[in-house]
Amino acid sequence: MITKPELLAPAGNLEKLKMALIYGADAVYMGGKSFGLRAFGDNFDDTELEQGIDFAHSLGKKAYITINIFPHNNDLLGLPEYIKRLATIGADAILVSDLGVFRIARQVAPTLPIHISTQANSTNWSTAQFWKELGATRVVLARELSLTDIKLIRQKVNIELEAFVHGAMCMSYSGRCLISNYLTGRDANRGECAQPCRWKYHLMEESRPGVYLPVVEDERGTYIFNSKDLCLISHIPELMDSGLHSFKIEGRMKSVHYVATVIKVYREAIDSYASSSAPFIVKQEWLDELQKVSHREYTTGFYFNKPTQQDQIYTSSSYIQTHNFIGLVKEYNPSTGMAVVEQRNNMKVGEKIEIMQPGMSNFVQTISQMFDSEGNSISVAPHPQQIVTLPMSQPVVPYAMLRRPQGGSDEHDNDNR
């Protein structure tokens, strides 16, 4: 019997948390309004943190809270009380990078499990052993490790290991980047990264101000720091053989559509491999699904070799996606075949759409009719979060998602929010 790893999802707000868990995540990681590394994400206020933890526990799943900034003295104000509250409301663990934060957590909430964030740059077994001896229960490994590195750490140290398997890659060493602070005054190590690694750069010679020289003078352009996104869907067997306890998906600032789609794909791939003795086959539908969400070109990162120029994108910093999220099912009446849908993007009668739902196959249909909240027949739903009713060709469940191929009406890409 193969032991399945935990599938760990990002949760940028309460809706994303619910979608991640409903679409197959075993656990979520999320941040409060302070002390985390996603200062510009929605994040959770105190009430929402408690609601998110309770929702995860109602499904028998877990919720981890990020406290992974590298704090200055004034950042420590209020931290002991915050950690004690997290323990009180039932957080399953906190993610920590800084030894000072670790020390405070041990003092004020000694039974609260601590996971060591990837920001702590754990790249060898001795570091993992050190954290274990201090009382950490899990180490989130640095992105710079190969599968061989991970296996050696697993052999040497009896501690839970977590690693990223999908999402954006940082051009710096596991996120320890100073460029944002230098260029914009926004400190990446305190949750305020401006992502200058995605900007286009030229050289300017001091005595010729205003004369910009391309860094690389050919069609490949000047996006010298712009990494491809990590994707390991084709390597589930190797990952599961490595001894990792948790497969982590990056993307707390990505959309509901992104989180649900990526989690559903990895859930199906993990379950497929764990439930069959046959050779693992990467389904084309999984690869197709991962093209539908907003992403950059994909790479396997450091897992199988040191990245080369082929793992960078030189021509553009824009995202790729083939489909747009247009609606979320709120209710479904099986006797009438009608679904109540919350609009998330302009949609019209006559459009061909795809329906994705948790634990089920996708299906395609045309919007044949649409009614507003008062029962009036309408041809278009143009208003954000407008409630409409429309017939479904197959049964659907709450949290099913409606999407259409790009090129439809008045689209707005929400996948990078």
Q: What is the pLDDT of residue 260?
A: 97
Q: What is the pLDDT of residue 222?
A: 57
Beta bridge partners of 161: 139
Sign of the alpha-carbon dihedral angle for 292, 294, 298, 303: negative
Q: What is the pLDDT of residue 412?
A: 47
Task: For the chain, give the number of residues.
Answer: 417
Neighbours of 68 (CB within 10 A): 28
Q: What is the pLDDT of residue 309?
A: 63
**Mind listing the domains of the chain with CATH numbers?**
6-173+227-311 (3.20.20.70), 323-405 (2.40.30.10)
In the block, residue with structure tokens 């039974």: 111
* Interatomic CA distance for residues 75 and 70, integer angstroms: 9
Q: What are the 10-residue block averages of pLDDT along the chain, 417 residues in total?
A: 90 96 98 67 85 98 94 92 97 97 98 96 96 98 94 98 91 67 71 70 76 58 71 96 96 91 98 91 96 88 80 64 94 97 96 96 97 96 96 97 79 44
Sign of the alpha-carbon dihedral angle for 248, 196, 98, 142: positive
Q: What is the pLDDT of residue 303?
A: 92
| pTM of the shown model | 0.86
